Amino acid sequence: MTRAIGLFLASLFLSTIASSSKMSGVTEARWHALNASVNGRLHIAKPFALPCFSRYDNVSLAVDEQACRAIQANYTSPAFRIESFSANMMVEYETCMSTASGCLLDSTDPQGTLATDGTSCDQGDISPYYIDIGLASDIQTAFQFSKETDVPLSIKNSGHDYLGRTRRRDSLGLWTHNLQEISYHPQFVPEQCGGSHRAITVGAGVTFEQVYAFADENDAMFIGGYAQTIGASGGWMMGGGHGVLSPSFGLGVDRVLEIKIVTPDGMLRTANACQNTDLFWALRGGGGGTFGVVIESTHLVEQRIPIQVINMTFTPTDTNLQEYFEILVNTSAQWGSEGWGGHINHSPPGIIYVNPRLSLDEATASMAQLTAFAKLNNGTSVIETLPSWLPFFTQFIVEVEAPVGSPKVLGSRLMPLALFESVEGRSRLVTHLLNQTAERGLPYIPVTTPIAFNYTPGTTSVTPAWRNSLWNLSNGPVWAYNSSVAEIRATLVSLHDFVHDQLTALAPDSGAYMNEGEIYESNHEFAYWGPNYERLLAVKNKYDPDGLLDCWKCVGWKGATHFPCYLTLA
């Protein structure tokens, strides 16, 4: 696309949103002034796949063949998507779901022309403007701009959020991906605090794969999650942050020592156990996009140690699934207390668990019944010692990285230890698992709750359900790039009913992980934060007195009417 057409489209675009948003009141001169005060880091955002389309907002333009080929080739690659402000991992959030309008390719055939032929690319839910954040002052400028113009803000880091909280229609986007500093501290002392810790500081844009490699180079282990490209300092850390070593070493919120953040009142603050302690507590579970824009955070790291790994598979049949689920359900409380974490896999059927506490012999004994089951059911069970976290991550996670680029949502529920401890509870779980398998296929179950971690009560704001749960039961339906509003709604209604009638019914007093909740969770305040919600709301109002930040079902959420691209279920 030539520069002239680009500018023409930009002005056309501004005129189309003029009637419907606060952006209409912002003059060209004001945008230029904003750009100047952020050192030229203000950019116009266009849909990720626009280069493949010959129409944008119903206006013809030339296809950019070269750019399109790169997008097609890497359409399902998280590493490619993370470099673009306009790309999400779950692509429905690039679109406007309520009108099914967007600019998507078919992720099952990105080279196919059916998606682009005769279709006009639409801006969807993507902010027309964003700031590529470089300095704390860029954020202060953005808050001031929003206060003066009423233009809403949105914050995007890696774009992994399952509830689309990186997007808000007609907002000014703040992109933290390029905050890439990383440093190692043999003896980190949080400002104004005593005590020293082995720690790593990461800029908001640093990803797990970066921090895992960096920690390993420093003979340390960073305790984080399963996907390479999630940010270690963004929504993951603020919403909870689980990983397969969390049963022993705690959640992301348990391990963060200090956070540097610009709050919406314009202040650059340091939050830790000794200053801005209310904010520190709120940031340890209250969620991203709510209390300010995080610049960097510092996390406790562990010494590199060997870990035991089990990779067990089997061949499911009509007759062996009940025994399999019984072994898992019967033994999970014991496995939890021994420090095992991992995931129960749907493909290939089996489990991958890790343990940083047991010896190889103890690990083998702990898994004896499951290993015997595998051998009798055309399966395998390999238990081995890996030298540290990074080799495990490289062999078991990087190798099987899930493709992204299709529309997908989740619904999940934390399953309390108590269910696993009574005969009746175990029987209900097994019945549920058989039923869920028949209805929706074998489940994928992360086993990542901090069940064997020595938690200091009151230090974090995640729902206390995290502290006494063992499993997270979930379902993650997908739909097609070109599904209609009615088809999308039907998928979302079915998921909502499943989560409400089946998962929540199993554990009504439990909660859910806010980063992996169901979009239409009926009582999200209780599900995500339990008794902590009122206090979180007070902290939100203290640091964001003008309500400049708002996101879907976040603390202080102002309601669905402010988010017109989420469709209504009924």
Q: Which does 478 bind (CB under 5 to 8 A by kind): ligand FAD, ligand NAG, none?
A: none
Tell me how far the alpha carbon of residue 546 is from its chain's centroid.
27
* Buried/exposed 204-243: b ≥16 CB within 10 Å, e otherwise: bbbbbbbbbebbbebebbbbbbbbbbbbbbbbbbbbbbbb
Q: Of 26, 204, 206, 215, which lies in the binding site for ligand FAD, with binding defined by CB under 6 A?
A: 204
From 206-214, 392-400, 531-539, 540-548, give the range in contact with ligand NAG by CB under 6 A: 392-400
Q: Of 81, 156, 255, 299, which lies in the binding site for ligand FAD, with binding defined by CB under 6 A?
A: 156
Query: Which of 236/543 has CB closer to ligand FAD?
Result: 236
Query: Which of 391/476 has CB closer to ligand NAG?
Result: 476
Query: Which of 160/299 has CB closer to ligand FAD?
Result: 160
Q: Which does 486 bind (CB under 5 to 8 A by kind): ligand NAG, ligand FAD, none?
A: none
CA 203/CA 191 separation, integer angstroms: 17
Q: Does 60 engage in binding with ligand NAG (CB under 6 A)?
A: no
Strands 445-447 and 411-416: unpaired
Near ligand FAD in 162-181, by CB under 6 A:
162, 165-166, 176
For the record, the structure tokens of 419 come out as 């269910």
122 exposure class (CB count in 10 Å sphere: 0-12, 13-18, 19+): buried
From 147-155, 357-365, 428-436, 552-560, give the range in contact with ligand NAG by CB under 6 A: 428-436
From 6-14, 233-241, 417-425, 494-502, give the range in contact with ligand FAD by CB under 6 A: 233-241
Pick the closest to residue 81 from 107, 58, 63, 56 (CA basis).
107
For the record, the structure tokens of 78 come out as 């998280």
Binding mask 294-313 for ligand FAD (x = CB under 6 A): x-------------------
Q: Is the peptide bond before 348 cis (omega within 30 degrees of 0)?
A: yes
For the record, the structure tokens of 168 come out as 């808000």
Residue 185: strand pairing partners: 199
Q: What is the DSSP track for 361-384?
A: HHHHHHTHHHHHHHHHTT-EEEEE
Q: Does 349 engage in binding with ligand FAD (CB under 6 A)?
A: no
Phi-psi region of 555 (alpha: psi -120 to 50; beta: other; left: phi over 0): beta
Residues that bind ligand NAG (CB under 6 A): 16, 35, 40, 42-44, 57-58, 70, 73-74, 80, 106, 112, 114, 120, 242, 311, 313, 315, 323, 326-327, 330, 348, 378, 380, 395-396, 399, 410, 412, 423, 426, 431-432, 435, 439, 444, 446, 448, 472, 474, 476, 480, 482, 484, 502, 513, 516
Residues that bind ligand FAD (CB under 6 A): 89, 155-162, 165-166, 176, 204, 225-227, 230-231, 234-236, 239-243, 288-289, 293-294, 402, 515-516, 551
